[in-house]
Amino acid sequence: MFPNMSTRVRFAPSPTGQVHIGNIRAAIFNWLFARHEGGRFLLRIEDTDRERSTPEALEAVMAAMNWLGLEPDEPPLFQSTRTDAHIAAAEQLLSNGLAFKEDKGGTGKGDCVIFRMPAGTDSEFDDIIKGRLTKKAEDMKDFVIVRSDGSPVFHLANVVDDIFMGITHVIRGDDHVENTFRHIALYKALGADVPRYAHLPMIVNAQGKPYSKRDGDAYVGDFRQKGYYADALFNYLSLLGWSPGDDREQLTRQELTDAFTLERVRSSASQMDLKKLTFLNGRYLADMSAADFETAASAYAGSPDWLQAGKAARFSEVCRLLQSRTKTLADVREWTYFFDRMPAYEQKAVDKLLRKEGVGVMLSAFVQKLGVVGFDHDSIESALRAAEAEAGLKEGKLNQPVRVSITGITTGAGICETMLLLGKDSVIARLTHAATNLCG
Ligand code: GLU
C-alpha cells in the first residue's frame, strides 16, 4: 500500500488526573490506524478546564504515551492556546446568522453565543464501527458554543481544532456519539469537510458496567507500577474490541500495525480481563532474551536492601531460574528468599502447610537424608521421595511444606532447582528452623 500522507488522526485527551485504559486504548487505535495507513498520528491536549488540567495531569498523559511508545508525529497542540481561533469561529457563525447571542435564563451575567441547529432535517452519519447512526431533527436542540464569560465550549473548541489540524478520521469513545451529531452540524456551518467517525465501544467490567478503578487497576500508571511490560499492555489493549481476524493473541507492534483496520473493531462493549492481561504479560516476559529480562527485572527492583552490592551474580541466576514463571515484574519482590539469610515466612502459608501434625517430623527426616547424599538434582529428588515414602505420603506431598520452609511462600520454581540455587547449607538451616520452630 502507498503511504497515505493525507490521513491525519489525533488523540485528544482532557488531562484531568490519571490516564484511564479506555483513553489510552483510543490513543492506541488512533496510532495503529495512522501507522497502518501511512498517515499521521497527532496529539491535542484539551486543557481548557483550568481547574482540572494541572501540570501533574498533563505529565500523566505524556508519561503514559511515552511509556507505551505512542509518539505523536508533530508537536502537541494545546487547546488552551487556541481561544482566539475558537472565538473567531463563533464570530463567523454569528455574522452568517448561524448563531445568535442570548442572555440565557436572563441571569444578567451577559450573553452566551448559541449555535442554531439546522431545523427540519434529521442528522445522520456512517460510523465506520457502528454503521449508520441517525438523530431526529426534533431531538436536536440549539446549543451554547461560547459561555457568558467568553470561554468556548467543548463542542466548538473540539471541532475548530480538528479543522485546524486537518483531521480526517475522528476515532474516539462512543460516549461521544451524541456530541457527533452537533459536531457535524458545526463542521457544515463552518464550511469544512466533515471527517469520518469511528466510535469505539466502552470497556466494561464483568457486569457490563463501565470498567472503573473499583473493578481493579484502571490507570496506565497502575499497570506500569505493578510491573506490566509496555508491549504486553499495548498488545492486550489492541485486542480489546479489535481482532486481527484470526486467533493470534500475541502480536508484535508491526503485526498489529499490518493487520489493523477500523472495520474489524467490534461495535459491542469490550470486557476487561485482568487475568488474560497478566497471562499475556507473563508470555512477553518469558519470550524476552535472558539479558533483556535481567535488565527489566533489575530496573524494576531498583536497589532494595536485599539486593546489595556483591549480589549481582546471584540475581542473574535467579532471573534465569524464574524468568519463565514471572507474571509481572512485581514478582521480583518475592525473590528476597534467595538473598536474605532466612525467608520472610508468610503466615498463611505456614498455617496451612507447616502447622500440622507430623510435618515437623517429616521435614527432619528429609533433612537427615539430605545430609548424607550429594547435593545434585537426582539426590535431592530421591531424598524427598524417600522421606515421603517413609511417612506413608503420596509422591509430591512433601513438596509444598518443603517449599514454604525454604522460601516462606507457596509459589516459585521447581523445588529441586530452588534448593540447588540456595545451596545445601542454607537449605538445611531453613528446613531445620522450620521443623523446630514453625511446625505443629
Ligand atoms: N477531550 C475529549 C475526551 O477526552 C475529546 C474527545 C475526542 O474528540 O476525541 O473525551
Residues in contact with ligand 1 by the CB-under-6-Å rule are: 12-14, 46, 158, 170, 172, 176
Residue 142, Cβ density class (10 Å: 0-12 exposed, 13-18 middle, ≥19 buried):
middle
Q: Is residue 360 within 8 Å of residue 425, measured between CB atoms?
A: no
Inter-helix orientation angle 377-390/359-372, to 10°: 140
All three cell numbers of 190: 463552518
Q: Which atom of ligand 1 is nearest to the CA of 23?
A: 4
Residue 189 has pLDDT above 80, yes or no: yes
Pocket test for ligand 1, best of 8, 45, 176 (most atoms within 8 A of CB): 176
pLDDT digits (tens, 9 = 90+) for 352-405: 999 988 999 999 999 999 998 889 999 999 999 999 999 999 999 999 999 999
Q: CA-to-CA distance for 71 and 65, rounded, in angstroms? A: 7
Residue 141: inside a domain: no
Cα–Cα dist 208/230, whole Å: 26
Q: Which amino acid, residue 146? A: V
Tell how far the Cα of 12 is from the centroid of ligand 1, in angstroms: 5
Q: What are phi and psi of 172, to 5 degrees?
A: -155, 175
User: Measuring from atom 10 of ligand 1, which residue has the nearest CA?
Assistant: 13
Q: Is residue 313 part of a domain?
A: yes
Ligand 1 closest atom vs CA 10: 9
Q: How far is the CA of 177 from the centre of ligand 1 (A)?
A: 11
Contact between 25 and 240 (Cβ < 8 Å): yes
- Cα 197 from Cα 309, distance rounded (Å): 56
| DSSP state letters, 214-228 | GGS--BHHHHHHTT-
pLDDT above 70: percentage of residues in the chain: 99
Same domain, 370 and 422: yes
The number of the ligand 1 atom at minimal distance from the alpha carbon of 13 is 4
Rounded to the nearest whole angstrom, what is the distance from the C-alpha of residue 335 to the centroid of ligand 1? 43
Last residue of one domain, picked from the residues 333, 362, 396: 333
The model's pLDDT over 59-68, given as tens digits with 9 standing for 90+, comes to: 999 999 999 9
Please tell me whether residues 396 and 353 are part of one structural domain: yes
Ligand 1 centre to CA of 26 (Å) is 10
Atom of ligand 1 nearest to the CA of 175: 10
The string of pLDDT tens digits covering residues 262-303 is: 999 999 999 999 999 999 999 999 999 999 999 999 999 988
What is the rounded CA–CA span in Å between residue 103 and residue 24?
39
Instruction: Indicate whether 326 and 364 sit together in one domain.
Output: no
Alpha helices in 166-244 (DSSP H): 177-189, 220-225, 230-238
* Boundaries of domain holding 406: 347-437
By most ligand atoms within 8 Å of CB, the mutation choice from 8, 14, 49 for ligand 1 is 14
Contact, 413 vs 325, CB < 8 A? yes
3-state secondary structure of 54: coil
Instruction: Please report whether residue 416 resides in a domain.
Output: yes
* Cα 298 to middle of ligand 1, angstroms: 37
Whether 355 and 314 share a structural domain: no
At a CB cut-off of 8 Å and minimum separation 6, what does 327 contact?
278, 279, 281, 282, 285
Q: Is residue 9 a contact partner of residue 39, using CB atoms and an 8 Å limit?
A: yes
Residue 395 lies in a domain: yes
Specify the residue with its C-alpha closest to ligand 1, atom 6.
Answer: 12
Q: How far is CA 280 from the centre of its chain?
A: 12
Contact 281, 230 (CB under 8 A): no
For residue 316, being part of any structural domain is answered with yes
Pair 352, 432 in one domain:
yes
Average pLDDT over residues 162-191: 97
Same domain, 381 and 358: yes
What is the Cα–Cα distance from 150 to 217, expressed in whole angstroms? Answer: 39
How many other CB atoms are there within 10 angstroms of residue 245's CB atom? 10
Residues linked to residue 402 through DSSP beta bridges, in sequence order: none
* DSSP element (H, E) containing 277: helix 274-287
Residues 355 and 308 in one domain: no
The CA 295 to ligand 1 mean position distance, Å, reads 37
Residue from 9, 82, 172, 194 to probe ligand 1 pocket by mutation (most atoms less than 8 Å from CB):
172
Beta-bridge mates of residue 203: 270
- For the chain, give the percent of residues with pLDDT over 90: 90
Note the pTM of the prediction, 2 decimals. 0.91
State how many domains the chain has. Answer: 2
- Average pLDDT over every residue of 5-9: 89
**Residue nearest ligand 1's atom 3 by CA:** 13
The amino acid occupying position 282 is G
Same domain, yes or no, for 311 and 390? no
Considering the domain architecture, whether residues 384 and 429 belong to the same structural domain is answered as yes
Residue 3: which pLDDT band, with cuts at 50, 70 and 90?
low
Ligand 1, from 18, 25, 30, 46: best to mutate by most atoms within 8 Å of Cβ? 46
Read off the CATH number of the domain in which 405 is found.
1.10.10.350
Same domain, 433 and 352: yes
- The C-alpha angle with vertex 258 and arms to 273 and 240, in degrees rounded to 5, equals 15
DSSP β-ladder status, 169-173 and 196-200: parallel
Whether 428 maps to a domain, the answer reads yes
Distances (CA, A) of 16 to 86, 234, 424: 22, 22, 55
Render pLDDT for 197-239 as a digit per residue (tens, 0 to 9).
Answer: 999 999 999 999 999 999 999 999 999 999 999 999 999 999 9
Last residue of a domain, one of 275, 305, 333: 333
Distance between Cα 45 and ligand 1 center (Å): 9
Whether residue 415 sits in one domain with residue 382:
yes
Categorize the per-residue pLDDT at 2 as very low, low, confident or very high, splitting at 50, 70 and 90. Answer: low
Give the confidence band of 1 by pLDDT, cuts at 50, 70, 90.
very low
d(CA 60, CA 68): 12
CA of 352 from ligand 1 middle (Å) equals 51
Domain assignment of residue 306, yes or no: yes
The pLDDT value recorded for residue 119 is 86
370 and 299 within one domain: no
